[in-house]
Amino acid sequence: MPATILDGTTLANGIRSELAVTVKTMAAAGVRPGLAVVLAGHNSASEIYVRGKVKASEQLGLNSEQHTFSESSSTGELIALIEELNHRDEIDGILVQLPLPQHVDSKKVLMAVDPAKDVDGFHPVNVGLLSTQRPGLVPCTPAGIMEILNRSQIPVAGQEAVVVGRSDIVGKPVAMLLLNANATVTVCHSKTRNLPEVCRRADILVAAIGRAGMITRDYVKPGAAVIDVGMNKVADAADFKRLFAAGSPDSARRLETFLMKGSVLVGDVHPEVAEVAGALTPVPGGVGPLTIAMLMYNTVKAARMRRGSPILEPSRK
């Protein structure tokens, strides 16, 4: 029986609907949460992501600002803007779109963000709050993964979870969130021995490694919930053929996209995993929409926390 597809777009729309009610209530009290997005350079993918975030903010009724710098901008210029945004009361969230130009010291820039406005959840203060289970701002993609599991009624407590990838942005924080939710967690990486064997123990398998289709059916325990965080562009015909055999589900639509655009977006999980897993997030349309929804959630949460309001918690629908 094929896996249940976990529709991230539908789940994200549910979160946005809940937030819209909260934002309307806050507006009636004279508070409009504000998000400032900082973009430096001319990375086309970053520009697309920023447009999506600004549009989502506006649709929700948030105050949204975009600050764009040239490729030659310095670390000092970016930090000066962030310090200004830190002191502006109408700005509740500051997001620095990564990657920054190569000559910019990204760590210094991110450290300059006030932890109370760090809607990406990357500041060491927020990392510490997460690790000690104290209220703070949680990285958006990991938080979105937990929402997918919770809203899809996938049990976490007592389950064995395996996270493939140890990045500060996804791997480490999602492992901490799963641990805080009482899962037994294993984090894997490039030095892990017998990786397929370790992954096959998982009731919940999170793939966040950035390698197209690496997680095949041999990595997956029958019936497991598989969360695919990967966003990989496949432009090579041989790679496409490896991932999408003729006649497989979805292959015709994917081939049409590949022939028209010259590439196709795929995750870290091979499509054949749908034949083994109990539940699976698609790429695109899985984790991605939740990431933007949780950015909106973090902005509203930051606005409430900064003003001493009760912390907003997502409902479990």
102 included as an active-site residue: no
Measure the CA–CA gap between 310 and 103, rounded to whole angstroms.
41
Q: Give the pLDDT confidence score for residue 256 in this predicted structure.
A: 85
Rounded average pLDDT over 193-214: 96
User: Which H helix or E strand runs over 95?
Assistant: strand 93-96
Domain, as residue range, for 59: 27-114
Residue 144 in any domain: the answer is: yes
Both 187 and 94 in one domain: the answer is no
Is the residue at 303 inside a domain? no
Q: Is residue 297 part of a domain?
A: no
Residues 153 and 285 in one domain: yes
- Token match 């197209």: residue? 212
Asked, for residue 42, whether it belongs to a domain, the answer is: yes
Question: Residue 176 pLDDT > 80, yes or no?
Answer: yes
**Whether residue 213 is found in the same domain as residue 273:** yes
Q: Is it the case that residue 247 has pLDDT exceeding 80?
A: no
Report how many domains make up the chain: 2
Greatest extent of the chain over all pairs of C-alpha atoms, in Å: 58
Find the catalytic residue in 53, 172, 221, 301.
53
| Given 97, 117, 221, 301, the catalytic residue | 97
CATH label of the domain that carries residue 89: 3.40.50.10860
Looking at the fold, whether 281 and 223 belong to one and the same domain comes out as: yes
150 and 280 assigned to the same domain: yes
Alpha helices in the chain (DSSP H): 8-28, 44-60, 75-86, 106-111, 124-131, 140-151, 171-180, 195-199, 237-243, 251-261, 287-306
74-130 pLDDT tens trace: 999 999 999 999 999 999 999 999 999 999 999 999 999 999 999 999 999 999 999
Q: Given the residues 118, 120, 203, 228, select the one marked as catalytic.
A: 120
Q: Residues 159, 84: one domain? A: no
CATH number for position 280:
3.40.50.720
Instruction: Tell me: do 195 and 279 sit in the same domain.
Output: yes
Per DSSP, the three-state class of 107 is helix
Whether 46 maps to a domain, the answer reads yes
Whether residue 213 is contained in a domain is answered as yes
Kindly state whether residue 259 falls inside one of the protein's structural domains. Answer: no
53 is an active site residue: yes
What integer pLDDT is reported at residue 288 of this predicted model?
Answer: 93
Q: Could you report the per-residue pLDDT of 283-299, keeping only the tens digit for each? A: 999 999 999 999 999 99
Q: Is residue 202 part of a domain?
A: yes
H or E element at residue 37: strand 34-40
